[in-house]
Structure formats: C-alpha cells, structure tokens
Chain A
Amino acid sequence: MKSLAAAAHRHLLFLAALMTLALAHPAFAQSEHIPASSIPTADLIQPADLAATLQSTSPKPLILQVGSHVLFAEAHIPGSEYAGPTNQPTGIQILKDRTAVLPKDTPIVLYCGCCPWERCPNIAPAYNLLHAAGFTHLKVLYIADNFGTDWVAKKYPVAKGR
C-alpha cells in the first residue's frame, strides 16, 4: 500500500515537472500579458517631450519600436528602428540582438503604440528586458491610445517605410 502511494506521489511530481517545463516554453510566452502600468512613471517620457528633443540640436536617443512591423512601415518616428514585437520570442530576440553590444549608459527610448497603453502586449516585456540587462538611461514613450492618435495626429515628425 505504501509503495503504491509513493508511486502515485512520484507520478504527481513528474506531472508537475512536465507542466512547469511546458509553461516555460516560448510558445506560452505570448499569452502572458504584462501590463504597461508596471513600468515606473519616472521612466516614462511624454510624446511632446520626445518630439521636442527630436526637433532640438541636443543628442538624440536610440529609439526602438517594439511593436508590429506592418504598423512601423505605415508610420514611425524618424530615425527609430524596428525591434519587436516583444510579446513574442522572436521579438525579444531581435531586441536582445540589437542591444547586446551597446554600452549600458546608451540613452534608449522604447515605444509601441499598437493598442491603448494598458492593453499593449509589447512595451512592458521590452522595458523589463532592457532594465534587467542593466540599461541605465532607459525611457518608455507613453502612448495613451495609439501611435496614430498620440503621435501622427499631433503632427509630430513621422517617417514611412520599413
């Protein structure tokens, strides 16, 4: 009877280990939503402030778009680079590769704008990745609604193409 219980216990442990491994698989990463509200307010930059920086003569940050490539092609911030979508393992890898050799004090601005702030699946994973990597001059563009409403419609500078 004891050996039967021990076998059942081992079986349960094995199943739990299998489930842990399965949930850690990249295929599941997409379904986990990390809310943008988890990004500290101190690390946000408002669209008007970034637009002013771009139009000034001061040094420009590296601007990385971590959303859809199709939306990037439609309109993006001039000089920004496509580096996403970071809700998917492929997007995370693109961002990792792009930032791997950068000095940790490189000024970086991340943005997405695919969806309303709280529903954006990309921006928090991108921020978490670079923050954990030790980037010290990291900002996130706060896009309340979407890139069309909060950037393009406000007549801030826009570029097109991939």
Chain B
Amino acid sequence: MKSRNLFLATAMLFTASMPVPAQTHKTAPDFTARSLEDKPIHLSDYRGKLVLLNFWATWCGPCISEIPRFSTWQTKFGPQGFQVLGVSMDDDKPPVQKTALKYHLTYPIMMGDEHLGELYGGILGLPITYLISPQGKILARYQGETNLDQLEKRLATLLPPKKP
C-alpha cells in the first residue's frame, strides 16, 4: 500500500512539473485586458521581454501557492528583462484586489474572461502558465501546479546575465 502511494505521489509530482507541449513554438495570441486599476494592458507591449503569463484565480489553492514566488521573481529578474503578467479568471474584481494586496504582488494583474481563455486554447482548469519568449513565441505551457524550482532554473538560463 505504502509503495503504491509512493508511486502515485511520484507520478503526480512528475506530471505536475512537466510543461504541456500544446501550442508551443506558436506566437502567443495578443490581447488587451483591463488591469485592477482599470487600465488596458496589451500583451504586445511586453515584446522584448521574457514573459510569464499566469492564469489563476483567488479560489484556486495551487494558484495561491505559486504567486508569492512569481512576485519574488519579478523583483529578482525584472531588471534582466523578465515580466510576470497575471490574468485572474475570477468572476469579480474585489477578491482579486484583496489577494493582490495581501501578497504584495509586484507585477500587473488583469481580469480575464472566457474570450481570453478560448484564445489560449481553453483555460479549463487552473493554474495554467505560459512562458513567452522576447520574440513573442510560446516556449512552454505549464498546466497544474508547476515545479517552481525547475522553472526558476529555466528562467535563469533564458535571461541575459545581470548587468554589473
């Protein structure tokens, strides 16, 4: 029984950390969404940066466990041309505003909807995170709780060295 549980746990960890290959190497669809401050945010404005596009929601446990790390990465890697963008799939803005304040999020959060979800192939389970190259190509799509240590290593290899 113990070994079966261990096998299942290992299998779950492995699948959770694997990027899903769907849509990779395609150009990330451009979109405009409203920020929590009701300002328009265009994905194309971030061309030239390595973008982590994270679909999440306040009611999603795995999402909430990821966002503090994304916030840390924004501070750590931002000067090297890295940008996190959060798209909330919540129905309403107030819980998102509350969560953004609670976790002191250091990157823009915008409100998503079903149209944006469909544009990205269906956001029908959270979290889903895209890694987008400075040229706007999708490098990876991570579905479910991501292995953040592995992802951080990947970011470090993709970004230019820190300026002295």
Listed in ascending order, the chain A residues whose CB lies under 8 Å from chain B are 30, 33, 68-71, 73-75, 85, 87-88, 113-116, 119, 121-122, 145-149, 152, 160
CA distance A122 to B61 in the complex (A): 11
Tell me the interface secondary structure of chain A in the complex.
Answer: loop
Give the residues in chain A near B90, CB-CB below 8 Å. 68, 70
Total number of A-B contacts with CB less than 8 angstroms?
Answer: 74
Closest A residue to B127 by beta carbon equals A115
| Distance in Å: Cβ of A82 to nearest Cβ of chain B | 10
Listed in ascending order, the chain B residues whose CB lies under 8 Å from chain A are 57, 59-62, 89-91, 95, 112-114, 117-118, 122-126, 143-144
Given A68-B90, A116-B144, A74 contacting B62 (CB threshold 8 A): no
Closest A residue to B118 by beta carbon equals A74
Give the residues in chain B near A121, CB-CB below 8 Å. 59-61
Tell me the interface secondary structure of chain B in the complex.
Answer: loop
Given A74-B117, A146-B125, A69 contacting B61 (CB threshold 8 A): no
Closest A residue to B91 by beta carbon equals A69
| Distance in Å: Cβ of A51 to nearest Cβ of chain B | 16
> Once the chains bind, are A70 and B113 in contact (CB under 8 Å)?
yes
> Once the chains bind, are B122 and A152 in contact (CB under 8 Å)?
yes
Among candidates A85, A147, A148, A160, residue contacting B59 with C-beta atoms closer than 8 Å: A85
Among candidates B57, B122, B143, residue contacting A68 with C-beta atoms closer than 8 Å: B57
| Distance in Å: Cβ of B146 to nearest Cβ of chain A | 13
Give the residues in chain B near A149, CB-CB below 8 Å. 124-125, 143
| Distance in Å: Cβ of A77 to nearest Cβ of chain B | 12
CA distance A146 to B128 in the complex (A): 11
Give the residues in chain B near A68, CB-CB below 8 Å. 57, 59, 89-91
| Distance in Å: Cβ of A123 to nearest Cβ of chain B | 12
CA distance A160 to B124 in the complex (A): 12
Closest B residue to A33 by beta carbon equals B61
> Once the chains bind, are A70 and B91 in contact (CB under 8 Å)?
yes
Given A114-B125, A114-B126, A146-B124, A71 contacting B59 (CB threshold 8 A): no
